[in-house]
């Protein structure tokens, strides 16, 4: 097996955020997200059917949540569980260096 380093070969600038699936099972998906100064378009909110756990590996980001209105700044090493249907958006990511996230999406199987 060859180890993978999630913080190498990062682009300086991307037109759009990059989403890369690292692991996929029947009920979970782990992805690496690379942002270079990106934010969620104005007026758009994520409203996901399942919980999402995020870990910021590099860079910085600010997430905004709706009801109650709340902003959370993330630095490398910070993680956060976003409950299903908690509307949120990315207010900003670091424009000076790539922001690298791990995002784990899981859903219950019945």
What the chain holds in terms of domains, given with CATH numbers, is 18-106 (2.60.120.10)
Please say if the pLDDT value at position 67 is more than 80.
Answer: yes
Coil, helix or strand for 20? strand
At 4, list the tokens: 């993978």
pLDDT digits (tens, 9 = 90+) for 19-36: 999 999 999 999 999 999
Q: Is 9 left (phi over 0), alpha (psi -120 to 50) or beta?
A: left
Please say if the pLDDT value at position 110 is more than 80.
Answer: no
Distance CA 28, CA 45 (A): 22
């Amino acid at each position: 097996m060859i180890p993978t380093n999630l913080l190498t070969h990062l682009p300086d600038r991307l037109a759009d955020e990059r989403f890369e699936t690292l692991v996929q099972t029947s009920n979970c998906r782990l992805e690496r997200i690379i942002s270079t100064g990106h934010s969620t378009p104005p007026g758009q909110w994520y409203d996901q059917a399942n919980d999402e756990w995020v870990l910021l590996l590099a860079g910085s980001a600010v997430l905004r949540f709706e009801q109650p209105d709340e902003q959370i700044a993330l630095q490398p090493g910070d993680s956060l569980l976003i409950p299903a249907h908690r509307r949120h958006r990315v207010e900003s990511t670091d424009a000076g260096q790539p922001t690298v996230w791990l995002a784990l999406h899981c859903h219950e199987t019945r």
